[in-house]
Amino acid sequence: MFRQHVRQLLSTYCHDELAPTEARRVAEHLLVCQRCRGEYEAIKLGIALMRELPTAQAPDTIWPQLEAALTQQTEQTAHDTAPDIAPVHVASPTATQTPRRLAPLFANWARTAAVSFAALVVACLVGGWFYLRPNAPSWEVARLAGAPQIGRERIGERGQLAVGEWLETDNNSRAQISVARIGEVEVEPQTRIRLVETRPTEHRIELARGTMHARIWAPPRLFFVDTPSAVAADLGCAYTLEVDDAGRSLLHVTMGYVALERGARESIVPAGAACATAPGTGPGTPFFEDASDDFLHALAAFDFKQGGDDALKIVLTEARVRDTLTLWHLLPRVDGDERARVYERLAQLSPPPDSVTRDGVLHLDEQMLTRWKDDLESKWLPESFPAVRKAWRHLWQ
Amino acid sequence: MEPVALMSDRQIETGVIAACQRGDREAFQLLFETYKDRVYAIALYFFGGNEAQASDITQQVFLKLFTKIAQFRSEAEFTTWLYRLTTNACVDEQRKVRRLSQLDETFTFDQVCVSEAQEAQLARRETAERVKEAVAELKPKLRVAILLKYFEGLSYEEMAAALGCSKGTVASRLNRGHKALARRLQHLRGALRQGD
- Is the C-alpha dihedral spanning B52, A90, B6, B176 positive or negative? negative
- Answer yes or no: do A198 and A316 share one domain: no
What part of A 174-203 touches B (C-beta under 8 Å)? 201-202
User: CB–CB of A42 and B135 under 8 A?
Assistant: no
| Domain encompassing residue B154 | 10-191
Determine phi and psi for A285, rounding to 5 degrees: -90, 130
Residue A161 lies in a domain: yes
- Answer yes or no: do A151 and A273 share one domain: yes
Whether residue B159 contacts residue B148, with contact meaning beta carbons closer than 8 Å, is answered with: yes
Could you tell me which of A81, A80, A98 has the C-alpha nearest to residue A89?
Answer: A98
Instruction: Please give the pLDDT value at position A176.
Output: 95
Residue A20 lies in a domain: yes
User: CB–CB of A204 and B66 under 8 A?
Assistant: no
Instruction: Please give the pLDDT value at position B98.
Output: 55
The burial of B4, by beta-carbon neighbours within 10 Å (0-12 exposed, 13-18 middle, 19 or more buried), is given as middle
- Counting the structural domains of chain A, the total is 3
Residue B128 lies in a domain: yes
- Is the C-alpha dihedral spanning B140, B145, B150, B153 positive or negative? positive
Please, which residues bridge with residue A266 across strands? A261
Q: Which residues on B lie below 8 Å from A104 (Cβ)? A: none
How sure is the predictor about A209, in pLDDT bands with cuts at 50, 70 and 90?
A: very high
Instruction: Please give the pLDDT value at position A119.
Output: 52
Q: Which residues on A lie below 8 Å from B7 (Cβ)? A: 129
Residue of A nearest to B101 (CA): A94
Q: Which residues on A lie below 8 Å from B9 (Cβ)? A: 128-129, 132
What CATH number should be reported for the domain holding residue B102? Answer: 1.10.1740.10
The three-state secondary structure class of A222 is coil
Q: Which residues on A lie below 8 Å from B57 (Cβ)? A: 95
Report the largest interatomic distance among the alpha carbons of chain B, rounded to a whole angstrom.
56
- Answer yes or no: do A237 and A145 share one domain: yes
Whether residue A380 contacts residue A270, with contact meaning beta carbons closer than 8 Å, is answered with: yes
B182: nearest CB among A42, A62, A106: A42
What CATH number should be reported for the domain holding residue A210? Answer: 2.60.120.1440
A121: nearest CB among B15, B25, B50: B15
Cα distance from A9 to chain B (closest Cα, Å)?
7
Lowest mean pLDDT among A83-87, A94-98, A231-235: A94-98
Residue A79 lies in a domain: no
What does chain B come to in residues?
196
Residue A382 lies in a domain: yes
- Answer yes or no: do A316 and A396 share one domain: yes
- Answer yes or no: do A273 and A305 share one domain: no
Query: B31-81 pLDDT, tens per residue?
Result: 888 888 889 999 998 888 888 889 999 998 998 888 888 887 766 678 888
Instruction: Please give the pLDDT value at position A79.
Output: 59
Whether residue A195 contacts residue A214, with contact meaning beta carbons closer than 8 Å, is answered with: no
pLDDT at A327 over 60: yes
Long-range contacts, B156-159 (Cβ 8 Å, 24+): B156/A12, B156/A15, B156/A17, B158/B77, B158/B79, B158/B80
Residue A238 lies in a domain: yes
Cα distance from A249 to chain B (closest Cα, Å)?
21
- Answer yes or no: do A274 and A246 share one domain: yes
- Is the C-alpha dihedral spanning A51, A54, A56, A57 positive or negative? positive
pLDDT at A77 over 50: yes
Instruction: Please give the pLDDT value at position A392.
Output: 45
- Answer yes or no: do A324 and A273 share one domain: no
Give the whole-angstrom CA distance, residue A38 versus residue A21.
22
Give the whole-angstrom CA distance, residue A100 versus residue A106.
17
Give the helix/strand (H/E) hosting B71. none
ipTM value of the model? Answer: 0.75
Q: Counting one residue from A and one from B, how many pairs have CB atoms under 8 Å apart?
A: 227
Whether residue A65 contacts residue B196, with contact meaning beta carbons closer than 8 Å, is answered with: no
Residue A60 lies in a domain: no
Could you tell me which of B51, B16, B54, B8 has the C-alpha nearest to residue B33?
Answer: B16
Cα distance from B117 to chain A (closest Cα, Å)?
20
How sure is the predictor about A379, in pLDDT bands with cuts at 50, 70 and 90?
A: confident
User: CB–CB of A49 and B134 under 8 A?
Assistant: yes
Residue B5 lies in a domain: no
Residue B110 lies in a domain: yes
Angle at which helices B120-136 and B25-46 cross, to 10°: 100
Report the largest interatomic distance among the alpha carbons of chain A, rounded to a whole angstrom.
101
Cα distance from B111 to chain A (closest Cα, Å)?
17
Give the helix/strand (H/E) hosting A322. none
Q: What is the DSSP string of A155-203?
A: P-SEEEEETT-EEE--TT-EEEEEETTTEEEEE-SS-EEEEEEEETTEE
Give the whole-angstrom CA distance, residue A394 versus residue A98.
57
The three-state secondary structure class of A243 is strand
- Answer yes or no: do A153 and A272 share one domain: yes
A56: nearest CB among B19, B44, B177: B44
Give the whole-angstrom CA distance, residue B164 versus residue B178.
21
User: CB–CB of A94 and B45 under 8 A?
Assistant: no
Q: Which residues on B lie below 8 Å from A69 (Cβ)? A: 59, 63
- Counting the structural domains of chain B, the total is 1
Give the whole-angstrom CA distance, residue A176 versus residue A178.
7
Whether residue A187 contacts residue A212, with contact meaning beta carbons closer than 8 Å, is answered with: yes
* Choice between A128 and A26, residue whose per-residue pLDDT is larger: A26
Q: What is the DSSP string of A78-125?
A: HTT--SB-PPPPPP-SSS-----B-----S----HHHHHHHHHHHHHH
- Answer yes or no: do A226 and A310 share one domain: no
* Choice between A95 and B163, residue whose per-residue pLDDT is larger: B163
Residue A93 lies in a domain: no
* Choice between B94 and A197, residue whose per-residue pLDDT is larger: A197
Average pLDDT over residues A313-329: 94
- Answer yes or no: do A265 and A153 share one domain: yes
Give the whole-angstrom CA distance, residue B133 versus residue B151.
16
Residue of B nearest to A112 (CA): B24
Within 10 A of B2 (CB to CB), how many other CB atoms are there? 10
* Choice between B71 and B178, residue whose per-residue pLDDT is larger: B178
Query: A210-228 pLDDT, tens per residue?
Result: 999 998 887 788 899 999 9
| Domain encompassing residue A42 | 7-50
Query: A113-160 pLDDT, tens per residue?
Result: 455 455 555 554 544 443 444 446 789 999 999 999 999 899 889 999
Q: Does A50 contact chain B (CB < 8 Å)?
A: yes
Average pLDDT over residues A35-55: 87
- Answer yes or no: do A155 and A271 share one domain: yes
- Answer yes or no: do A280 and A296 share one domain: no
Lowest mean pLDDT among A160-169, A313-322, A370-379: A370-379
What integer best gives the mean pLDDT of chain B?
77
What part of A 80-119 touches B (C-beta under 8 Å)? 87-98, 100, 102-103, 105-109, 114-115, 118-119
Whether residue A192 contacts residue A208, with contact meaning beta carbons closer than 8 Å, is answered with: yes
